[in-house]
Amino acid sequence: MMTIEKMGAQGDVLFRRVATVPPGFKAQETKGPHVVAHSETGHHHSVDATGVKLFTGDDPMVCYLQLVSVESCDVVHQRPWDTHETMRLGGGAGSVFQVLRQREYTPEGWRRVED
C-alpha cells in the first residue's frame, strides 16, 4: 500500500494536502464510510469515517477530508475487479486533503474523467 503525505492519485481522483478547509465548505455527517468520489457503475472511492471529517461545497467535483483524531486513513476503491490499490493518506491528526475529480475538455465542454 502506498502512503501519501502530500499528493497522490487513485484512478480519476486526486488527493492533495492543503493547509486548511476553505470557507464555504460544510462538514457532512454520514453513517458508514465517506464516499469521496461517486461512480455511476458503483466503484466508489471511500474512506472509513472513524476519526475523519468530510467537507463538501457547491462544486460536486471538489471535497475535503480532515484527519481529526487519526494519524492516517485508507482510501478504498469499491470494485471487485480491476480495482485501484488502497491508498493511505498520512500526515497526522489535523491534516487536510483536497479531493479533486479529474476533468477533461471535449468539444461539448468540460466533463468528468471516468476510469
DSSP symbols for 56-79: E-S-TTEEEEEESS-S-EEEEE--
- The range of the structural domain enclosing residue 95 comes to 2-112
Candidates 87, 84, 85, 88; CA nearest to 72 is: 88
Rounded distance between C-alpha atoms, residue 89 and residue 99, angstroms: 11
| pLDDT attached to residue 9 | 84
AA letter at 38: H
| pLDDT attached to residue 29 | 86
Q: What is the mean pLDDT of the chain?
A: 83
pTM for this structure?
A: 0.82
Count of domains forming the chain: 1
DSSP code of residue 33:
-
C-alpha cell at 112: 468528468
Q: Label residue 20 by pLDDT band (50, 70, 90).
A: very high
Q: 3: Cβ–Cβ under 8 A, 6 or more apart, which residues?
A: 72, 87, 88, 89, 90
| pLDDT attached to residue 15 | 92
